[in-house]
Amino acid sequence: MKAIVFTEYGDPKNLEFLDVPDPSPQEDEVLVRVHASSINSWDWEYLTGTPFANRLMFGLFKPRRSKQRLGADIAGVVEAVGAKATRFRPGDAVFGDLWEAWGGFAELACIPETSLEPIPANLSFAQAAAVPQAGVLALSGYRKHPGLGPGNKVLINGAGGGVGMFAIQLAKLDGIEVTGVDAGHKLDAMRSFGADHVIDFAQEDFTGTGVTYDLIIDCQYSRPWSRCRRALTPTGRYAVIGGQVPRIMRAMLGGQVGKLFGRTSALQVVMDGPNKDLDHLCELLEAGKLVSHLDSSFMLEQVPQALQYFGEGHHKGKIAITVV
């Protein structure tokens, strides 16, 4: 099969489009002929070897041989099933998140059957591939403060990206007032998906406006917590989905220390794992209550160009990789 492979950290130019052996499913796995994938921030961070903490997991000086593939989201058709896999059969259209197994930027991929869901009939393969990681992260972040509804306020930092676009829609389904923060060229896109207010981060710092929110979902956690907490109501929650690793690690440590003293921290890091409640997202997508927004689409052999585009921050929503 054809796949995107890299053997050193750095520029997207390091990626190679190669012939590699076809994978074989384990007894609880499904072999999927990949029709589409999509780019997530982890792909960029893994490729560039940044932040440095990632190298402790994937290889200090270069990616380990078993970790030389990118791509987590997949959507495609079941080609074969393992001996103990019973949920799907060849020909079924499925999608899911490979998570740390990687390898979505390829013609074939193996994935545990429990990590897959049937593709909603109203979605293309590319639209489906945009959902698993970004949609699940958005849902997990939104659920860090359950019970919100009309009269409550949510701010989403990084609302113009893949996770942010889903988070806007989830909050609006519950009648919540939403403020989206991102680059100036993404403001119209955020409005089109339901944001009531938008902020250009280059022009205004949401932590200094005096407005407070019941929930902040932060995909770009880069400010000191002492500033972020000023933007929360007394009972507010701050859900961290992405950002600077040292700050995230300190947030996690603070939360664990608080638990020792019986306290629940307002600052919570989203770590619910892959594909959690993907079936619920399927229901929303099938009902037309949630839309999978694609900024652009690139062919498999164009992954280097797609990642370069992602790294430059131009995209609004998700970037799809079309394989078939």
Residue 261's pLDDT band (boundaries 50, 70, 90)?
Answer: very low
pLDDT tens digits, one per residue of 119-136? 999 999 999 999 999 999
Q: Cα(115)–Cα(70) distance, rounded to whole angstroms? A: 18
Using CA atoms, how far apart are residues 44 and 311, in angstroms rounded to an integer?
7
Considering the domain architecture, whether residues 11 and 115 belong to the same structural domain is answered as yes
- Is residue 181 situated within a structural domain? yes
- Helix (H) / strand (E) containing 189: helix 187-192
Residue 156 lies in a domain: yes
User: Is the full-model pTM beyond 0.85?
Assistant: yes
Q: Which residue has the tokens 């929360």?
A: 232
Sheet of 197-200: strand order equals 197-200, 177-182, 153-157, 213-218, 232-240, 267-269
Residue 89 pLDDT greater than 80, yes or no: yes
Residue 199 lies in a domain: yes
* CATH number reported for the structural domain that contains residue 52 in this entry: 3.90.180.10
**Does residue 287 lie in a domain region?**
no
Q: Are residues 208 and 317 in the same domain?
A: no
Tell me the per-residue pLDDT of 102-123, one tens digit each, with 9 for 90 and over. 999 999 999 999 999 999 999 9
Q: Residue 251 — very low, low, confident or very high, per pLDDT cuts 50/70/90?
A: low
Q: Is residue 280 part of a domain?
A: no
Are 152 and 263 in a shared domain?
Answer: yes
Burial of 135 (0-12, 13-18, 19+ CB in 10 A): buried
pLDDT for 24-39, tens place per residue? Answer: 999 999 999 999 999 9
Would residue 277 count as lying in a domain? no
Q: What is the pLDDT of residue 259?
A: 52
Q: Are residues 166 and 71 in the same domain?
A: no
What does the pLDDT read at residue 268? 87
Question: Which residues constitute the domain of residue 310?
Answer: 2-131+292-322
The CATH number given to whatever domain includes residue 214 is: 3.40.50.720
Query: Structure tokens of 82?
Result: 């393992």
In a domain, 312, yes or no: yes
Same domain for 82 and 146? no
The overall average pLDDT reported for the chain is: 93
pLDDT in tens, 156-186: 999 999 999 999 999 999 999 999 999 999 9
